[in-house]
């Protein structure tokens, strides 16, 4: 991302997005890019920083951040094997739609003011660096030391949050008793979808790690929509991710982001239950 950003025409992209009506297509493109990037919620954060640094609107960036952990090649392959083609297609479409609509909602709220000073400083430096690259017509080898110093700066800022986040995820994974969730997710419970989604948010796993758990839940009679809402919340939202995001967002912005995505996941869960 450092190399890409050194050549990224920040002003041109910002001007293009501000002058042209794309009618939501930019959110769809960001979500589709999320589909082809096989990252978990935490490993998507460096790309998120790169998007912001590149002048991409915050809502479009969120569309990528939401879709990337939810839908990827590994998840699609496992879904096909576990649940069949029809369920896989509906899941993929719902993940993309979830990213698009959540991104649009978050963009409408105009949340840029809630980015941390650290990110704002990175964005300002990016514009200065871009002007310097253009003015001096620097070659790649000349740009590399600046790119590397920026990489180290971002790593130094993010790494403590990565370690703390992984530790929290590991502790929760080790101490949550087996069968803890089944009692709250039965098909007789009208509030099973929101309860399972909210209970899953503090947890952390990637799609390949949680899908076998989803299969077990479904085999025990848990409705598919409820199980998938649980999976989306585990994969797309987590305490480790919140710890990482704290470096780039204020607590208020993290709360709004988690709230909007949680609400969209709950709606998706109910829709899945109606379909199946």
Residue 271: burial class (beta carbons within 10 Å; 0-12, 13-18, 19+): middle
Mean pLDDT of 211-215: 79
Residue with more model confidence, 65 or 150: 65
Summary count for the chain: helices (H), strands (E): 14, 0
Model pLDDT, residue 183: 67
How sure is the predictor about 14, in pLDDT bands with cuts at 50, 70 and 90? Answer: low
pLDDT at 254 over 70: yes
Model pLDDT, residue 259: 92
> 152-161, 183-192, 209-218: lowest mean pLDDT where?
152-161
Model pLDDT, residue 196: 86
Q: Are 27 and 60 in contact (CB under 8 A)?
A: yes
Three-state DSSP string of 171-196 = HHHHHCCCCCCHHHCCCCCCCHHHHH
Q: What is the DSSP letter of 115?
A: B
- List CB contacts of 46: < 8 A, sequence separation 6 or more: 1, 154, 158
Model pLDDT, residue 262: 93
How sure is the predictor about 110, in pLDDT bands with cuts at 50, 70 and 90? Answer: confident
Model pLDDT, residue 168: 57
Domain count for the chain, please give it: 1
Write down the residue that tokens 């660096």 correspond to: 129
pLDDT at 17 over 60: no
Model pLDDT, residue 148: 81
Write down the residue that tokens 């993929």 correspond to: 92
Rank 44-53, 149-158, 244-253 by mean pLDDT and report only the highest.
244-253
- The CA distance from 186 to 221, in Å, is 7
Mean pLDDT of 195-205: 80
CA torsion sign for 179, 270, 41, 95 is positive
* pLDDT tens-place string over residues 59-107: 888 898 888 888 877 778 878 888 888 888 988 888 899 999 999 999 9
* pLDDT tens-place string over residues 30-62: 888 888 776 665 566 667 777 777 677 888 888
- The CA distance from 214 to 160, in Å, is 31
Residue with more model confidence, 212 or 184: 212
- Name the helix (H) or strand (E) containing 118: helix 117-136
Q: Are 16 and 33 in contact (CB under 8 A)?
A: no
> 85-94, 203-212, 235-244, 267-276: lowest mean pLDDT where?
203-212
Residue with more model confidence, 224 or 217: 224
Q: Which domain holds residue 94?
A: 2-275
> 103-112, 127-136, 254-263: lowest mean pLDDT where?
127-136
The two three-digit tokens of residue 183, written as one number: 């009692």
Model pLDDT, residue 144: 78
Could you give the percent of the chain with pLDDT greater than 90? 11
């Amino acid at each position: 991302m450092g190399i890409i950003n050194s050549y990224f025409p920040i002003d041109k992209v910002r001007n293009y997005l501000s002058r042209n009506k794309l009618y939501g297509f930019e959110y769809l493109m960001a979500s589709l890019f999320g589909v082809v990037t096989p990252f978990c919620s935490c490993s998507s954060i460096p790309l998120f920083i790169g998007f912001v640094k590149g002048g991409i609107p915050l809502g479009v960036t969120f569309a990528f951040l939401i879709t990337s952990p939810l839908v990827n090649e590994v998840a699609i392959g496992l879904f096909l094997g576990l649940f069949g083609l029809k369920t896989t297609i509906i899941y993929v479409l719902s993940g993309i739609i979830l990213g698009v609509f959540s991104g649009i909602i978050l963009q409408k709220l105009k949340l840029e003011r809630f980015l941390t000073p650290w990110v704002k400083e990175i964005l300002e430096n990016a514009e200065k660096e871009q002007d310097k690259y253009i003015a001096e017509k620097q070659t790649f080898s000349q740009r590399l030391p600046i790119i590397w110093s920026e990489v180290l700066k971002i790593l130094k800022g993010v790494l403590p949050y990565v370690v703390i986040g992984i530790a929290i995820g590991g502790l929760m994974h080790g101490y949550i008793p087996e069968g803890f969730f089944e009692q709250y997710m039965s098909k007789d419970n009208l509030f099973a979808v929101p309860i399972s989604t909210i209970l899953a948010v503090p947890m952390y796993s990637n799609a390949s790690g949680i899908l076998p758990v989803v299969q077990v839940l479904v085999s025990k009679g848990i409705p598919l929509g409820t199980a998938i809402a649980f999976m989306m919340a585990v994969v797309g939202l987590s305490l480790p991710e919140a710890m990482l995001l704290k470096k780039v967002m204020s607590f208020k912005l993290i709360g709004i982001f988690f709230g909007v995505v949680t609400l969209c996941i709950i709606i998706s869960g109910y829709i899945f239950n109606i379909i199946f």
